[in-house]
Amino acid sequence: MKKPILGSHVGMSKANKHGEYLIGSVKEAISYHANTLMIYTGPPQNANRTATEKLHIEEFNQLLSENSINKDHLVVHAPYIINISNPVNQTTWDFGVDFLKQEIQRCEDIEIKILVLHPGARLKGDYTDALNALVKGLDQVASTQKNVIIALETMAGKGTEIGLSLNDFKYVLDHVKQPAKVAVCLDTCHMHDAGYDFNDWAAIKTEINNTIGKDKIICFHLNDSKNPLLAHKDRHENIGYGYIGFNNLLNVLWDEEYIDVPKVLETPYVEDKPPYKEEIENLFNKTFSKKVK
């Protein structure tokens, strides 16, 4: 069987201890023995961004090649400040569309094709109106996308989030003008907290096939959950220490139907240290032996 494509969120800043910007990102991923990675192009909570020409893209590409990391498997996560599902505040929606266009262009510059985006929240608006606002926003940015595909992330249902069910994503894909430019990122913690039971991964796969289709899943966020099924909390736990469990996450990672889909860890640091090297080793070896906590 093929080896899964597995990595984690890594830093991307001038201050990265492994090197400046994208150089440090690759070196950090290599230190975890990962074969993919996910970055933010700047702080996830604000709009501050460094010009892409300063990110060392050429050296980034060289390091990826030297370490046999396929660039097609890399992921960028859009910042949390984008909410194009907001149906009640035009200024917020306009800002989200504009900044998403900028993020898409940054991905095009770096040549990373997968851009994960939180669908957003309806706030005090109607749920269907929020889905329609998302559709409208995705249509607005589609002309900016040359190679980038936006992967809408499954959400836990915290507050007024949308994107809790696969039917939400089916609705979006059925209504956008260019569905080829939109896909889905499955976050295991979020799905668990929204009510999807990974004790029956086969049933979840059946629902995927009956709604959006397997080919629309272009990445996973592989996380355990600190809370029980249907908690709507969105609190990630380290692999094997939560309510989803090591074996259930192993089933997702090693599923032959999704073996070529990149999977990214976003599990919490333990005592201010990243757990990713141990978690990746456990998942690749299929053995819960390297203790994180």
- Annotated binding residues, written as ranges, equal 77, 118, 153, 187, 190, 221, 234, 236, 266
- Look at strands 236-237 and 75-77 and give their pairing: unpaired
Classify the C-alpha dihedral 57-63-69-74 as positive or negative: negative
Would you list which residues are annotated within the binding site for Zn(2+)? Answer: 77, 118, 153, 187, 190, 221, 234, 236, 266
SS (H, E, C) the chain: CCCCCEEEECCCCCCCCCCCHHHHHHHHHHHCCCCEEEECCCCCCCCCCCCHHHCCHHHHHHHHHHCCCCHHHCEEECCCCCCCCCCCCHHHHHHHHHHHHHHHHHHHHHCCCEEEECCCECCCCCHHHHHHHHHHHHHHHHHHCCCCEEEEECCCCCCCECCCCHHHHHHHHHHCCCHHHEEEEEEHHHHHHHCCCHHHHHHHHHHHHHHCCHHHEEEEEECEECCCCCCCCCCEECCCCCCCCHHHHHHHHCCHHHCCCCEEECCCCECCECCHHHHHHHHHHCCCCCCCC
* Token reading at 161: 């989030």
* DSSP code, position 279: H
* Token reading at 138: 């995705």
* Token reading at 27: 């070196």
3-state secondary structure of 196: coil
